[in-house]
Amino acid sequence: MRWVCIVFPQLALDGAQRVHPEPDQPLALLAGTPQRRVLQTVNAAARALGLRPGQSLTAAHALAKSFACVEYDPLEIERLQQLLAAWAYRFSSQVSLYYPRALLFEIESSLGLFGPWPQFEARLRKELAELGFRHRIVAAPNPAAARVLANLYDGLAVADDNALMQALALLPIDRAGLESQAATALSRMGLRTLAQVQALPRHTLARRFDASLLKHLDALSGQRPLALEFYQPPDQFNARIELNFDVQSHQALLFPLRRLTGDLSAFLCGRDSGVQRFDLHLEHAQAPDSVIKVGLLSAEREPLMLFELARGRLEQVQVTSPVRGLRLVAEDLPVFVPQRQDLFDDRPQQTLPWEQLRERLRARLGDDAVQGLRFHADHRPECAWQAATDSRPCPNLSKVRRPGWLLNEPTLLSEQGVRILMGPERIETGWWDGADVRRDYYLIQTRAGQQGWAYRNVGNSDGLWLQGWFA
Amino acid sequence: MGAVVALDSLFNGGRVWKGRPAAPPASVHPTGLAALDAVLPSGGWPEAALSEILMSKDGVGELQLVLPTLARLSTLGERIVLVAPPYTPYPHAWQNAGVDVRKLCIIQAEERDALWAVEQCLRSGSCGAVLCWPRKADDRALRRLQVAAETGQTLAFAWRSLSEAVNASPAALRLAVEARPAQVRVLKCRGGLAHPAPIALAGH
């Protein structure tokens, strides 16, 4: 049991359905020349309407009106395969797209981490269901056998070579992955199962058939290794969802956005990296794309969080012209470092780490909304603070009395009823940078009992300026 | 046999009246003002709840009430979030009061977003204390903050105008700071009768 094969029986249809918020609507994929459009695939709801693959589009329209059509795009299938390979790369370093519409990967070396096989299989199924792909999973000792058994079984796990021979023996000829010409010839000879073919003497098979037949039989039994080309994940993520209609509101963009961020997260998990910056392109029909930049303070890859952040940015943007497509591009993929969490933290279960909270606040309130505070060594009160976080602890400061609150702008104070409690304290500095101050500071008390910090400009009788409150 | 209830939780919750006055239980969040701690049923700030501080004007000592608590929390490594403060905190004064200013975090927000931000911070459970200055918050908004503080097990402080004292509030503790003479009055405290006599504030 070294290889897993996951077959996607309806890859093109799943690819089209997963970007639709309502997958149960009748849907047909179209192919063929512009003169004669033919239904390539239909989903269950469309089948219930009487639509069948191979029908012409005009015939389909005669049968039913209310079904959606999506272009069948071989390139799109290739992209989906790449995405699935990126997803599977998380579980194994040997991922291959050798067979079309199927994933092959080696699991023997990953079982120690992911688990006994039933648990691992359940996880694979769960994640594939979340990504929106129907699938059949088979595990077998060699890749060719896994692929062939996946034609017939779902959830089969063949442990060793003896069990494999028994499982293969029962395979019907036409499902054994043979070339169609050879399969037809064999069945015309009266052979029904693979066991009967394997029982034939090798030299007679070699004389009657191409060499590929024996090669295939040997690959199935594991005597001849299959030369597989392994998948290498790309260094950037670039995915696009085309909308089949003009979208003017944010609401309709949320579902495709959730898919894109989910795919991004699956990709990042496969590479074991995070994302710190990514761009959302809203594609318009007749105008250049509007680009929404999403920036984070640390690398993240949680799908829900990525979605929520992208959503926060998206909702602030005015969509001016109709959107036809949505593209997500992430080029900078730094290494993901998981947050350190305290084992004995007595906080409640649903606690949200500060980093995520900060991103959520920044997404809604703006990039500069969340600030730190630090002391700056300057005697002028307006220069004595900076909106940034210090890495080193603050040095011990002089124990002079300073107000807890500092006004943004000094305001002129009417001197009626103001009592001076302490002062003056002369602050005279700043001659080097042009913002020269010469002030006498007083601790004052107003008639209402408020304590404030006010100053008089030296040599300038323009009154008492309030600059802070001793709150 | 019914559900087992720990006696401590009953007593500390203030739901059982005890004939013999016992020493007030040591609170996890003492206010730092011994006279105030003595009259509060929990011996300090109510845990995981909203405390309201009402004042007639700025600069009457309303911040001094919480600075000892913030100092203690920040040295424990807890984060202190100020959502839309009315003025800039002067690091020199806060540092001298013992607050580690590296743990301060200021969120600039409009009035409408500020309440949302406060609720998010409280609910997240990743902050030690959340300070806010709601101006137009109604009963329902404060109720949300109170529930969020309970959910996230976080201390919440709200400074409001003294004119709000006549309106009911879901806060667990309501204090009124008066300037002349400088004193604090307990308007409401959950789990006990509000102490009628005012408590003098030093330094004002």
Quickly state the pLDDT bin for A300 (edges 50, 70, 90).
confident
pLDDT over threshold 90, residue B156:
yes
Q: Which chain B residue has its CA at the smallest distance from A358's CA?
A: B121
CA distance B158 to chain A (A): 14
Residue A469: list chain B partners with CB under 8 A. 58-59, 87
Residue-level pLDDT at A7: 93
Give the DSSP H or E segment for A46.
helix A44-48
pLDDT digit string, tens, across residues B39-83: 888 888 888 899 999 998 888 888 888 999 999 999 988 899 999
CA distance B168 to chain A (A): 25
Task: Show the tokens assigned to A283.
Answer: 């594609």
Residue A256 and residue A293 share a domain: yes
In a domain, A350, yes or no: no
Q: What is the 3-state secondary structure (H, E, C) of B15-61?
A: CCCCCCCCCCCCCCCCCCCHHHHHHCCCCCCCCCCEEEEEECCCCCC
What residue has token string 């290794």?
A225
Residue-level pLDDT at A84: 92
Quickly state the pLDDT bin for A302 (edges 50, 70, 90).
confident
By the CB < 8 Å criterion, does A397 face chain B?
yes
By the CB < 8 Å criterion, does A417 face chain B?
no
B91 → closest Cβ in A352, A353, A375: A375
Q: For residues B163 and B13, give the distance between their C-alpha atoms in angstroms, rounded to a whole number.
A: 30
Residue-level pLDDT at A420: 86
- Non-local (6+) Cβ contacts of A133 within 8 A are A8, A11, A14, A18, A84
Residue A180 and residue A248 share a domain: no
Q: Choose the most confident range, by mean pLDDT, from A140-154, A326-340, B12-26.
A: A140-154
By the CB < 8 Å criterion, does A384 face chain B?
yes
In a domain, A384, yes or no: no
Mean per-residue pLDDT, A381-389: 85
Looking at A316, A332, A348, the residue that finishes a domain is A332
Residue A341: list chain B partners with CB under 8 A. none
- Whole-Å CA distances, B101 to A323, A357, A359, B95: 46, 20, 21, 6
Residue A210 and residue A80 share a domain: yes
Yes or no, beta carbons of B90 and A405 under 8 Å apart: yes
In a domain, A454, yes or no: yes
| B20, β-bridge pairs | none
Residue-level pLDDT at A290: 86
* pTM score of the predicted model: 0.64
Residue A170 and residue A274 share a domain: no
Residue A181 and residue A99 share a domain: yes
B87 → closest Cβ in A384, A401, A469: A469
Higher pLDDT, A115 or B156: B156
Mean per-residue pLDDT, A343-356: 66
CA distance B145 to chain A (A): 16
pLDDT over threshold 90, residue A138:
yes
Q: For residues A228 and A213, give the distance between their C-alpha atoms in angstroms, rounded to a whole number.
A: 18
Range in A61-70, A136-145, B194-203 the model is least confident about: B194-203
pLDDT over threshold 70, residue A264:
yes
By the CB < 8 Å criterion, does A452 face chain B?
yes
Higher pLDDT, A349 or A265: A265
CA distance A126 to chain B (A): 28
CA distance A465 to chain B (A): 15
Yes or no, beta carbons of B89 and A471 under 8 Å apart: no
**Residue-averaged pLDDT of chain A:** 86
Residue A468: list chain B partners with CB under 8 A. 87, 90
Yes or no, beta carbons of B104 and A372 under 8 Å apart: yes
Mean per-residue pLDDT, A371-399: 83
Residue-level pLDDT at A128: 92
pLDDT digit string, tens, across residues A44-60: 888 888 888 888 888 88
Residue A252 and residue A212 share a domain: no
Residue A167 and residue A255 share a domain: no
- Non-local (6+) Cβ contacts of A101 within 8 A are A7, A8, A9, A11, A77, A81
Residue-level pLDDT at B107: 93
Yes or no, beta carbons of B89 and A385 under 8 Å apart: yes
Quickly state the pLDDT bin for A345 (edges 50, 70, 90).
low
By the CB < 8 Å criterion, does A252 face chain B?
no
Q: Which chain A residue has its CA at the smallest distance from B182's CA?
A: A449
Give the DSSP H or E segment for A370.
strand A370-371
φ and ψ at residue B42, rounded to 5 degrees: -95, 0
Kindly report the CATH class assigned to B29-200: alpha beta
Q: Which chain A residue has its CA at the smallest distance from B105's CA?
A: A372
Residue A248 and residue A199 share a domain: no
Mean per-residue pLDDT, A382-404: 82
Yes or no, beta carbons of B63 and A369 under 8 Å apart: no
Q: For residues B100 and A389, give the distance between their C-alpha atoms in angstroms, rounded to a whole number.
A: 11
pLDDT over threshold 60, residue A346:
no
Quickly state the pLDDT bin for B159 (edges 50, 70, 90).
very high
Mean per-residue pLDDT, A296-306: 83
φ and ψ at residue A114, rounded to 5 degrees: -95, -5
Taking only residues 6 to 65 of chain A, the set having a beta carbon closer than 8 angstroms to any beta carbon of chain B reads none
Yes or no, beta carbons of A370 and B107 under 8 Å apart: yes
CA distance B105 to chain A (A): 5
By the CB < 8 Å criterion, does A370 face chain B?
yes
pLDDT over threshold 60, residue B21:
no
Q: Choose the most confident range, by mean pLDDT, from A136-140, A235-239, A380-384.
A: A136-140
Give the domain range for residue A280: 239-332
Of chain B, the percentage scoring pLDDT greater than 70 comes to: 90
Mean per-residue pLDDT, A237-262: 86
Yes or no, beta carbons of B152 and A353 under 8 Å apart: no
Task: Show the tokens assigned to B91.
Answer: 């690091």
Residue-level pLDDT at B50: 92
**Residue-averaged pLDDT of chain B:** 85
Domain boundaries, chain B: 29-200
Quick one: how far is CA A245 from the chain centroid? Answer: 24
CATH number, residue A321: 3.30.1490.100
By the CB < 8 Å criterion, does A422 face chain B?
no
Residue-level pLDDT at B22: 55
Q: Which chain B residue has its CA at the smallest distance from A371's CA?
A: B106
Yes or no, beta carbons of B179 and A448 under 8 Å apart: yes
Quickly state the pLDDT bin for A338 (edges 50, 70, 90).
confident
Residue-level pLDDT at B19: 65
Residue-level pLDDT at B191: 78
Residue-level pLDDT at A343: 63
When divided into structural domains, chain A yields a total of 3
Residue A253 and residue A137 share a domain: no
Q: For residues A280 and A291, give the distance between their C-alpha atoms in angstroms, rounded to a whole number.
A: 6
CA distance A401 to chain B (A): 7
In a domain, A228, yes or no: no
Residue-level pLDDT at B32: 82
pLDDT digit string, tens, across residues A396-438: 778 888 889 999 888 888 877 788 888 788 888 888 888 888 8
pLDDT over threshold 70, residue B23:
no
Q: Which chain A residue has its CA at the smallest distance from B154's CA?
A: A347
Yes or no, beta carbons of A452 and B152 under 8 Å apart: no
pLDDT over threshold 80, residue A165:
yes
First to last CA, chain B: 56
Residue A273 and residue A152 share a domain: no
pLDDT digit string, tens, across residues A80-115: 999 999 999 989 889 999 998 999 999 988 888 888
Residue A199 and residue A285 share a domain: no
Other beta carbons within 10 Å of A377: 9
pLDDT digit string, tens, across residues B79-125: 999 999 999 999 889 988 888 888 899 999 988 889 989 998 998 88
Residue A155 and residue A8 share a domain: yes
Contact B203, B82 (CB under 8 A): no
ipTM value = 0.82
